[in-house]
Amino acid sequence: MSKILIADDERAICDAFSRLFEMEGHEALIASNGKEALQVIREQHPDAVFMDVRMPGMDGIETLAQIRDEIGGLPVVIMTAYGAMETAMEAVRLDAFDYLGKPVELTRVRQLLHQMLEQSATEPPTSEAETEQPEPETEPRLVGQSAPMQELFKLMGLLTTNNMTVLITGESGVGKELVARGIHRHSRQSEAPFVAINCAAIPENLLESELFGHEKGAFTSAETRRIGRFESAAEGTLFLDEIGELPLPLQGKLLRVLQERSFERIGSSTPIPLRARLITATNRNLAQEVTDKCFREDLLHRLNLVTLQVPPLRNRQEDIGLLAHHFLKQVAGELNKPLSDFEPGVIERLRAHSWPGNVRELEHVIKRSALLARGNKLTNHDLALENEPPKITTQEAGSTSDDTFRQLSETLRYALRQLVAEKTEGSFHTLISFAEGELIDEALRLCDDNQVSAAKLLGLHRTTLRNKIPSRDN
């Protein structure tokens, strides 16, 4: 029989876990805060710990750091109902066994318990561990409590302990640079520079000098020596955004830098050691770019040693409310407005939106809407959504066919934008085929499935109509 500690200030959570562990044949120990948890660990020597982050007094992360100081190998699972990137990354960096978002699934708890006890049986505790406190928040940060984001945070945490090259992929606006900055901020290079460059924003003829620097007189306009981004990153992190836009000649030079771990300023033959960690990002499919001969396959293999896929906002619906409140709090401070919440229905409207511009679009929507707000809540009237699905109304007396076509036009435009956002190939033919099928089905319904009448209603020859519905009986 093993001893399992549950540290949580919610009694219901402790009771549920206790019943589960006792059913598994183990002894359950309970603590309601970090101080109590440490006392139980020192006196009772549990074999595994499940601990909440938010507890009175010493929180879960502080307690985990103290546990690592005293008993480095004790398996600890951190639990939280708040999806903060920093918490997940700090938990992973402090060697938490796992990080779970609430509400937790008891099946997953049972599975983790078995794994933790297996580890305890094979790996005796140690008393050495490094602990570092998270830095104060000074930059925009990633927010998310959805399963895809929690997995991303854990992977980011693992990458803070090494210097591996990382490729971050995802659609525009998902927060790829925030991922790169998060890895840097919590890594051993955090005190060194974080240097970012957008490869798509600099003209091709200037990009090489921007990256590697140049010597005075290297070319006509080189009046002084210039230190490039690789050199200015020193022992920190160099972030190359939109790496898919890098011209082929520069791809070859970047490959050589990564292979030799050194570079030269333009106009110099003196090698300069590459000391910075390289993180790149793209919204392109680089594998397809390789097939299309637009990107070097050997460079891709060098860049994607570790690949992080940042999910689009439409695939993390449960994060939309969390993000909206985060941005509202942020912009309320910027505008010096007493905005603190949303009126009923606003979050539902936000969740119903497709967000082709992802998190960046949501942030802009909240900022625009907050600017219009007058009270202490952001209302449906304030909400300024772009490309929102049009509201189709029934035709009222006095309305004209122009109104109907105007509504139809708005609907078709919205549908096309959705298809484009989802990168659907052949969007035009997809829409035409769907619209045609709907028109034919409705005409047949109105004409009691009489094809002659339906063809006349649609202005088609009967043979044409029959050819368009080959699956129907003639």
- Whole-prediction pTM: 0.62
401-468 — its CATH code?
Answer: 1.10.10
Alpha-carbon distance of 41 to 60, in angstroms, equals: 14
pLDDT of residue 414: 63
Is pLDDT of 41 > 50? yes
- When pLDDT is averaged across residues 327-349 and rounded to a whole number, the result is 90
Q: 162-309: CATH homologous superfamily?
A: P-loop containing nucleotide triphosphate hydrolases (3.40.50.300)
Task: Answer yes or no: same fold for 314-378 and 401-468.
Answer: no
Please state the domain extents for the chain.
3-122, 162-309, 314-378, 401-468
pLDDT of residue 17: 92
Is pLDDT of 271 > 90? yes
Q: CATH number of the domain at 314-378, out of 1.20.1260.10, 3.40.50.1000, 1.10.8.60, 3.30.300.30?
A: 1.10.8.60
pLDDT of residue 130: 35
pLDDT of residue 99: 86
Alpha-carbon distance of 313 to 148, in angstroms, equals: 10
Per the model's pLDDT, the better-predicted residue between 417 and 257 turns out to be 257
DSSP codes, 242-303: SGGGS-HHHHHHHHHHHHHTEE--BT----EE--SEEEEEESS-HHHHHHTTSS-HHHHHHH
Instruction: For 3-122, give the CATH class.
Output: alpha beta
pLDDT tens-digit readout, 200-218: 988 888 899 999 999 998 8
| N-term to C-term CA, the chain | 74
- When pLDDT is averaged across residues 86-99 and rounded to a whole number, the result is 82
2: Cβ contacts below 8 Å, ≥ 6 apart: 26, 27, 46, 47, 48, 117, 120
Q: Which of 65-74, 234-243, 332-341, 386-395 has the lowest mean pLDDT?
A: 386-395
Contact by Cβ (8 Å): 384, 361: no
Q: 371 pLDDT band (50/70/90 cuts)?
A: confident
pLDDT tens-digit readout, 162-193: 999 999 999 999 999 999 999 999 998 899 99
Q: What is the mean pLDDT of the chain?
A: 84
Q: Kindly report the length of the chain.
A: 474
pLDDT tens-digit readout, 59-80: 999 999 999 888 777 899 998 8
Alpha-carbon distance of 130 to 128, in angstroms, equals: 7
Amino acid, single-letter form, for residue 178: L
pLDDT of residue 399: 47
pLDDT tens-digit readout, 128-139: 333 333 333 445
Q: 420 pLDDT band (50/70/90 cuts)?
A: low
Is pLDDT of 290 > 80? yes
Sheet holding 98-101, edge to edge: 27-31, 3-7, 48-52, 76-80, 98-101
- When pLDDT is averaged across residues 436-451 and rounded to a whole number, the result is 83
- When pLDDT is averaged across residues 104-117 and rounded to a whole number, the result is 86
pLDDT tens-digit readout, 216-245: 988 888 889 999 999 999 999 999 999 999
Question: Where does 32-105 show beta strands of DSSP type E?
Answer: 48-52, 76-80, 98-101
pLDDT of residue 256: 95
Amino acid, single-letter form, for residue 395: Q
Is pLDDT of 95 > 50? yes
Q: Which of 122-131, 341-350, 372-381, 409-418 has the lowest mean pLDDT?
A: 122-131
